[in-house]
Amino acid sequence: MKATLDPLVVHDVREERMLPAHLELYHRGELARRVEEAYALLESCTLCPRECGVNRLAGQRGFCRVGLEPKVASWNVHPWEEPPISGARGSGTIFFSSCTGRCLFCQNYPISQLGVGNVVPVDQLAEMMLELQAKGCHNVNLVTPTHFVPQILAALPQAIEGGLRLPLVYNSSGYETVEVLRLLDGVVDIWLPDAKYADDGTARRLAGFPHYVEHNRAALQEMYRQVGDELVLDEGGLARRGMIVRHLVLPEGLAGTGEVLHWIATALSPRVHVSLMDQYFPAHRAVGHAVLGRRVTPEEYEEALRAFEAAGLVNGWRQEHEEC
């Protein structure tokens, strides 16, 4: 089977190409203040809702198992994101090691749970951003960045001084604190969060997230407050600012797809762009699982598409499958 992303509806805004929002924060000195405020959170770490309270400035490690310096698994051109993110030349992904979750079915578990990657200094992280720009990427796509927000903020001024002019994409599980997201207001151009589950018990059982629904919904509301429901595209159809919410359909409706989509439409806006994904396959500890040990059926995905329409959502993407 081969999956291709097709737009349901894309709100096409014809505007002049926008400069990234973080340039303004840099020039008026606000970005430097945000760096200081973010690093202060590491002394008793509260970067994610787990609030482990360890002193990462002193090298202590909490649930995410990382210390002070950022740890990166890979950085490269990535052509398989949603069309306004990947465009023709690809998204410049930086995959950070470790995670604030423990998904049974994580397809990137060597990175997220086994910690594959290399510790890099902040100045090297800035160089990665510039290297991705030099490769022609349309944006810098920060993948699983939550536990390294201070380090990302610290790298950004160096990257800007080196000529970085790409928008920043924040690609996360959606398990965030509002306090940290507010530090990123005007820094992140495009929010790309997950809305994984409608039920806290399921989120804890399948992904190890305590109180996921509460924190996820508060996070999505804060992201929405910052950028609204308009996905701003440049003349080439590339996203310059906005929000795309991802939802992965799971076997037997475990993700609570209908409820998640209804909440997005009513608590945020029916115009919010949603990427309805059906690329689930059993990986990691889901192999052989009684429910998670198979792919989503066409019927299950069609049910998710009906839930999208029933919720009144009007913008987003679905995945079409073709026989190989």
Task: Give the pLDDT of the chain (324 residues) as one tens digit per residue.
Answer: 233 444 444 444 434 346 898 999 999 999 999 999 999 999 999 999 999 999 999 999 999 999 999 999 999 999 999 999 999 999 999 999 999 999 999 999 999 999 999 999 999 999 999 999 999 999 999 999 999 999 999 999 999 999 999 999 999 999 999 999 999 999 999 999 999 999 999 999 999 999 999 999 999 999 999 999 999 999 999 999 999 999 999 999 999 999 999 999 999 999 999 999 999 999 999 999 999 999 999 999 999 999 999 999 999 998 765 433
Distance CA 158, CA 288 (A): 47
Do 251 and 280 contact (CB within 8 A), yes or no? yes
Residue 27, C-beta contacts closer than 8 angstroms, at least 6 positions apart: none
CATH number, domain of 58, equals 3.20.20.70
Task: Give the pLDDT of residue 319.
Answer: 79
Q: Which residues of 75-106 are buried (b: 16+ CB within 10 A; e: fewer)?
A: beebeebbebbbbeebbbbbbbbbbbbbbbbb
Do 101 and 144 contact (CB within 8 A), yes or no? no
Distance CA 316, CA 321 (A): 17
Domain count, the chain: 1
Task: Give the pLDDT of residue 19.
Answer: 83
Chain mean position to CA 106: 15
Q: Which two tokens stand for residue 265?
A: 């439409």
Identify the domain containing residue 112 by its residue range.
2-322
Q: Which two tokens stand for residue 183?
A: 């530090």
Q: Which two tokens stand for residue 47?
A: 């970067």
Would you state the torsion angle of the CA atoms of residues 311, 247, 275, 20, taken in this order, to the nearest 10 degrees?
Answer: 110
Give Cα separations from 298 to 3, 216, 262 (angstroms): 12, 28, 21
CA-nearest of 26, 27, 24, 8 to 231 is: 8
**pTM here?**
0.94
